[in-house]
Structure 1
């Protein structure tokens, strides 16, 4: 607070020091509050797109629901993109209207069901695949129907359509529970295999089951990836522990909007992205 010039005259008595006033928290709606609170990238996590009648793990979204969700995002002025594109835009200060769309496991229905809808709505995405299970199925799920996975040609087709291809490990193992040699193979060998398959660098990794610890995150960084996606990374922050929100068949446009609004308050800041 500035002091009036006449307050320094010797004839004037010294004014008592003002009492400290407790700071009043800014309203969460105020621009100052929003600017003061770091945000994490908003990244949606999908898996399979198809029939939801038998779906014990809630990993399937019907084409109709995905169409509805993507349409709702576009009506709000948002566009879905792959994670590498999202992070690059944020680094340039241009990511305000973008959300990340990710599809885990590399199900074959991505080409037949998800990709046409992404194209209809002008969206991109990242597809995380398992080069150790090309043309196989989701054998890691003890319950539920077997779902076919993309083969090498299918992954190349998705890449040719502009979809970012990322690694989900070689065989879908929980990296927090494997030994060092297996960890290196799942992380580094999968990147090498996919780079050769698509003829391009593979920028991103997605932790199977969404689980990550410091050792797994360090392995992803050391293997040359630019980022790593989890679900809820707990105390870990940064580009190798990016949180995501599960999106399922029950997520109506309203519910999806609420999830997006709550995302910044439920997650820790991701430093540097």
Structure 2
């Protein structure tokens, strides 16, 4: 499909920080105090908007690889945090429909559990090991979100190693392959956390708004929620360009 003026305007420009969207749960949002859930219908509409504007959602690994080759103009990263069980039921069919890939950040220390870190609830089931393997078999990149969803900036040295290197080793036992990516719980990141993630062997890591730490191991992301209709998505892609140019390697 030929790109329209609007679609060309929506595409990220070469040299900009990679545009990476951050999702969480996909399903029932009747009780959603943290506004982390989108309905399947809204996700479907958002992915359709991307495609109509000459964009395609991909995993972060694919996005960074294409950029390293000098391409990737029409690609955006899609990430889903926490590894909710509804990903397989609701997100996967929509990603397949629109020909999109994604990165799913899971908590290997909580597989089959619930999101106990959210004090207000509601309690949402997390993917089991079998669910994670099913997502991987469907072509979804699996990354680590740490072992138990703790703030790495408040972790002692032993906990920091467990959450980074330890979660990567445990996740490899589940999927049969080492994870390339890490995602900082709560988006909380400092230089010490970045150093631990890099030392653990991850090739990249996602944050939310890492400021001067922006780089391959602290990629900024844009939250995409239920209220992000076509106009809001277009504004988010445009505002994304205002981020400072990335350091080498992003």
TM-score range, shorter chain: over 0.9
Task: Report deviation, 1:272.
Answer: 1.3
8 Å CA contact 2:66, 2:72 repeated in 1: yes
Task: Report deviation, 1:94.
Answer: 1.5
Structure-2 residue corresponding to 1:244: 221
Q: Verify: 1:82 aligned to 2:59, yes or no.
A: yes
Give the structure-1-normalised TM-score. 0.85
Task: Report deviation, 1:227.
Answer: 0.3
> Take 2:121 and 2:229, find their aligned partners in 1: how far apart are those partners?
24
Task: Report deviation, 1:74.
Answer: 0.1
> Take 1:131 and 1:59, find their aligned partners in 2: how far apart are those partners?
20
| Residues 1:81 and 1:176: Cα distance change in structure 2 (over 3 Å) | same
Q: Give the counterpart of 1:235 among 212, 215, 226.
A: 212
Q: Verify: 1:179 aligned to 2:159, yes or no.
A: no
8 Å CA contact 1:86, 1:100 repeated in 2: yes
Task: Report deviation, 1:155.
Answer: 0.3
8 Å CA contact 1:243, 1:267 repeated in 2: no
Task: Report deviation, 1:234.
Answer: 1.9
- Equivalent residues in 2 for 1:90-109, closer than 5 Å: 90-109=67-86
Structure with larger RCO (C-alpha < 8 A, sep 6+): 2
> Take 2:76 and 2:247, find their aligned partners in 1: how far apart are those partners?
15
> Take 2:110 and 2:102, find their aligned partners in 1: how far apart are those partners?
21
- Equivalent residues in 2 for 1:197-212, closer than 5 Å: 197-212=174-189
Unaligned runs of 5+ in 1: 1-33
Unaligned runs of 5+ in 2: 1-12
CA deviation string 1:174-222 (max 9, x = no partner) = 0000100000000001001111211112100000001100000000000
Give the structure-2-normalised TM-score. 0.93
> Take 1:55 and 1:84, find their aligned partners in 2: how far apart are those partners?
30
Rg larger in structure: 1
> Take 1:256 and 1:188, find their aligned partners in 2: how far apart are those partners?
35
> Take 1:267 and 1:147, find their aligned partners in 2: how far apart are those partners?
36
> Take 1:44 and 1:176, find their aligned partners in 2: how far apart are those partners?
23
8 Å CA contact 2:17, 2:243 repeated in 1: no
8 Å CA contact 2:152, 2:189 repeated in 1: yes
CA deviation string 1:91-139 (max 9, x = no partner) = 0011001000000000000000000000000000000000000100000
Structure-2 residue corresponding to 1:61: 38
Q: Give the counterpart of 1:116 among 60, 72, 93.
A: 93
Number of matched pairs = 238
